[in-house]
A and B are shown apart, each in its own frame.
Chain A
Amino acid sequence: MPPPSPAHDDVVHSESFLRSLMRRQLALSILCGATFLAALLGMPLLNYFAPELMATRVAGFTLSWLILGVLFFPFVWIISWFFIQRSIALEEVEVDRAQAGKEPR
């Protein structure tokens, strides 16, 4: 790798800044993604191993139908709302950090 040019010798262009930037954002994404996947991939398993439970009637619906056909949508909205709040806050912290780093050391 070529030595960084003098103009790029600040926090923003450093390896450590990129690493922490990507790690924090990916950690948040994976946290939200894992919650979602656990619910999504867990549904077929529940249907497979607990068919009687999932066939319980709730106001005419089977439990399984109610969850998949109606309740799943708001669940996903909550995850996405949480993600957006957190990721925008994260970006603001990063901007502050980077701008503090641009000051002469």
Chain B
Amino acid sequence: MAAAPVLAQAASVDPWILAFSLVTVAVTIWMGFRSRKTSKTASDFFVAGRSVSVGWNASAISGEYLSAASFMGVAGMVMSSGYDALWYPVCYACGYLFLLLFIAGPLRRFGAYTIPDFAEGRFDSPLFRKIAVCFVLFIGFFYTMPQMKGAGVTLAYIFPGMPYWGGVVLVGAVITFNVALGGMKGITLVQAFQYWAKMFAISVPIFVLMSVLGFYNQHVGANRAPGETAAPVSAITRKATPEKAPKDEAWIAPFGPLTTKAVNAAAAALPVEQRAAYLAEHQRPYSLLYTYSLIIALVCGTAGLPHILVRFYTNPDGVAAKRTTMWVMILIGVFYVFPPVFGVIGRNLMPELYAGVGAKGTDKVVLELPTLLSARGSVLGSVLSGITCAGAFAAFMSTFSGLLVSMTGALAHDIYGRILRPQANQNERLFAFKTSAILVGSVAIVLGCFVEPLEINFMVGQAFAIAAASYFPLLFMSVWWRGMTMQGAATGMLTGGLCALGAAALTNLGTLALDKGPMGKIFAGFAPLNAFWAQHPLLRILCEQPAIWTVPLAITLMVIVSKLTATAVPGDIRMKMLVLHAPEKLGLKQEYIQEHQAGAGH
């Protein structure tokens, strides 16, 4: 009896899409297995022996960075919200400039395995390491949730009828297994391969689609801007946009539905006659505030992502770290031009996605858009859709494994290796790495099952906001200000980071309470939160995009508390600063290590 629906499902699976996806998964796993033979020591596992060349490393960082949010989420959000969503790809790419200008070189010179290593070394404080480790896990879990949603959406698309959670569990388990076997050396190879897989998977289908369906500029031009009587381009035959879709003028212009949601909700709660006046007064200023807060979160957050920062330690020196960053910006910048094109074409030609929710909504536009060509009676649509599905697999698999490695590193290297059992031997450490990988993977899968109603891109933005208020101030201030003390750094990072974390969690709980599916029932207790926010739209914006107050708060606290505890500045601060800033050729790092070991006795 049970076989009949399974067979019916199997018949509806497109063989091309399935084949491309399976090949991506198989190659990823095969590379993980192959690298197992070459990664033996703990150093191989954590930072790939510190000997990765600029080209490999830049591809690997880009491969790890371009997550489900970049591959699927950006397109989905451009389709659902329009212009305002463009801030995401721009700031995802340009945030690296901040990393390059202020952090990349010094951080690499200081030389440590992880950010918690840096935190301890810079302030000579094992206690601070424990605080810093917590944020690797906080940011990591917030970042894995959208990757898991990407997995659920993609598998639900490939196998129609498969439940959302099925995809989450399947993909989560495969990657966890892979990381537990290969470690980071394997991952560098896999990540570099996956960048090029994603680049191919986003660019080739979009060029074919554009040549058949009309180019990027024509599709943008088919939408009427405010003040125009008609859209300037009439060559594109659009499908009728449903009621749920934003209007042309709101979609194409700045300060559209994404940034005005809170004010619109507040206006809807008012009597009809007051609405227009209320909107005219509040909509644009609040929207500007939202935009700035979003920009701060993304730009500063990029410079504080633990799973990206750990990769800078795999560069041979500070100059290589800078060159790597520049190549990363070029590689991901080229990539980010393409996803919005899917969103724009999707708005004009696939508006039925506006009606879908969760796994059936706009987040799957990248996967489904190429099938428009199938409707014209060619197999090309299926092939291209297979390619974008393979790219989506590459996206959430590479980012999830990168996050898994850095979170597992935090658990195995920092908590087990440094805090619980410092005397553990090589084999025990490797065993700890594998156990931690399985533990972290399982928690990520469980969290992933809850987030179907949330937008992929939005969730990644929240992880950035937490990083922006915790690691970014820590790194920026401790690299450039020698007066910083452990107490100041800890107070600022904890307060800023936890405020951002709390705000993001509240926003998600409120959104989940609105869901019409099962999640709405589980989180129904948080519904009053939405009523409160309808009364106070400003608070809603500050909660949804907290960076505009949490980043300055963290930095201010760091300065004030450090001034109050000025006696706690490490005694050898001048030497530490020299190691951070002087070129490697002067050989100061060696000298520092020797002195540190000699001085450790007294």
Quick check: is B100 within 8 A (CB to CB) of the other chain? yes
Task: Check A44 against B292 for contact (C-beta < 8 Å).
Answer: yes
Task: Check A69 against B337 for contact (C-beta < 8 Å).
Answer: yes
Residues of B within 8 A of A95 (CB): 583, 585-586
Closest B residue to A47 by beta carbon equals: B254
Task: Check B319 against A83 for contact (C-beta < 8 Å).
Answer: no
Task: Check B299 against A40 for contact (C-beta < 8 Å).
Answer: yes
Considering residues B96, B226, B574, which has the most beta carbons from chain A within 10 angstroms of its beta carbon? B574
Quick check: is A15 within 8 A (CB to CB) of the other chain? yes
Task: Check A40 against B220 for contact (C-beta < 8 Å).
Answer: no
Task: Check A76 against B329 for contact (C-beta < 8 Å).
Answer: yes
Task: Check A81 against B326 for contact (C-beta < 8 Å).
Answer: yes
Task: Check B97 against A76 for contact (C-beta < 8 Å).
Answer: yes
Task: Check B333 against A73 for contact (C-beta < 8 Å).
Answer: yes
Residues of A within 8 A of B6 (CB): none
Q: Would you give the 0/1 interface string for B324-339, flagging 1 where the beta carbon is closer than 8 Å to chain A?
A: 0110011001101100
Quick check: is A84 within 8 A (CB to CB) of the other chain? yes
Quick check: is B159 within 8 A (CB to CB) of the other chain? no
Closest B residue to A55 by beta carbon equals: B225
Residues of A within 8 A of B186 (CB): none
Task: Check A70 against B337 for contact (C-beta < 8 Å).
Answer: yes
Residues of A within 8 A of B83 (CB): 62, 64-65, 68
Task: Check B217 against A61 for contact (C-beta < 8 Å).
Answer: yes
Closest B residue to A45 by beta carbon equals: B288
Q: Would you give the 0/1 interface string for B198-227, flagging 1 where the beta carbon is closer than 8 Å to chain A?
A: 000000000000000000111111000111
Quick check: is A22 within 8 A (CB to CB) of the other chain? yes
Residues of B within 8 A of A15 (CB): 574
Given contacts A41-B292, A76-B94, contact A61 B322 (CB under 8 A): no
Closest A residue to B334 by beta carbon equals: A73
The secondary-structure label for the interface of chain A is helix
Given contacts A65-B86, A72-B94, contact A60 B221 (CB under 8 A): yes
C-alpha gap A25/B583 in the complex (Å): 11
Chain A: minimal CB distance from B472 (Å):
13
Contact with A57, one of B100, B221, B226, B586 (Cβ below 8 angstroms): B221
Which residues of A (9-34) have their CB < 8 Å from a CB of B?
Answer: 12-13, 15, 18, 21-22, 25-26, 29, 32-33
Task: Check B578 against A52 for contact (C-beta < 8 Å).
Answer: no
Number of residues on chain B facing chain A (CB within 8 A): 61
Contact with A47, one of B225, B233, B255, B575 (Cβ below 8 angstroms): B255
Closest B residue to A25 by beta carbon equals: B581
Contact with A61, one of B96, B102, B221 (Cβ below 8 angstroms): B221
Q: Would you give the 0/1 interface string for A45-75, flagging 1 where the beta carbon is closer than 8 Å to chain B?
A: 0011001101101011110110011101110
Chain A: minimal CB distance from B375 (Å):
24
Q: Would you give the 0/1 interface string for B463-497, flagging 1 where the beta carbon is closer than 8 Å to chain A?
A: 00000000000000000100000000000000000
C-alpha gap A32/B99 in the complex (Å): 12
Closest A residue to B236 by beta carbon equals: A60
Task: Check A57 against B232 for contact (C-beta < 8 Å).
Answer: yes
Quick check: is A88 within 8 A (CB to CB) of the other chain? yes
C-alpha gap A13/B579 in the complex (Å): 11
Closest B residue to A4 by beta carbon equals: B574
Residues of A within 8 A of B583 (CB): 91-92, 94-95
Residues of A within 8 A of B245 (CB): none
Chain A: minimal CB distance from B198 (Å):
17
Contact with A76, one of B93, B288, B581 (Cβ below 8 angstroms): B93
C-alpha gap A57/B101 in the complex (Å): 34
Task: Check A55 against B226 for contact (C-beta < 8 Å).
Answer: yes
Given contacts A25-B581, A88-B319, A91-B583, contact A80 B326 (CB under 8 A): yes
Residues of A within 8 A of B329 (CB): 76-77, 80
Which residues of B (140-171) have their CB < 8 Å from a CB of A?
Answer: none
C-alpha gap A15/B512 in the complex (Å): 56
Task: Check A13 against B218 for contact (C-beta < 8 Å).
Answer: no
C-alpha gap A92/B87 in the complex (Å): 37
Nearest 4 CB-CB pairings of A with B: A60-B221, A60-B217, A73-B333, A47-B254
Chain A residues proximal to chain B, CB less than 8 Å: 2, 12-13, 15, 18, 21-22, 25-26, 29, 32-33, 36, 40-41, 44, 47-48, 51-52, 54-55, 57, 59-62, 64-65, 68-70, 72-74, 76-77, 79-81, 83-84, 87-88, 91-92, 94-95, 98
**Beyond known contacts A55-B228, A64-B253: 15 more, CB 8 A cutoff:** A12-B588, A18-B577, A18-B581, A33-B97, A44-B291, A44-B295, A51-B253, A62-B252, A65-B83, A68-B90, A73-B333, A74-B333, A76-B97, A87-B105, A95-B586
Q: List 11 A-B contacts (CB under 8 A).
A: A12-B588, A13-B575, A33-B98, A48-B255, A60-B220, A60-B232, A62-B220, A69-B86, A84-B326, A95-B583, A98-B586
Chain B residues proximal to chain A, CB less than 8 Å: 83, 86-87, 89-91, 93-94, 96-98, 100-102, 105, 216-221, 225-228, 232-233, 252-255, 284, 288, 291-292, 295, 299, 319, 322-323, 325-326, 329-330, 333-334, 336-337, 340, 480, 571, 574-575, 577-578, 581-583, 585-586, 588
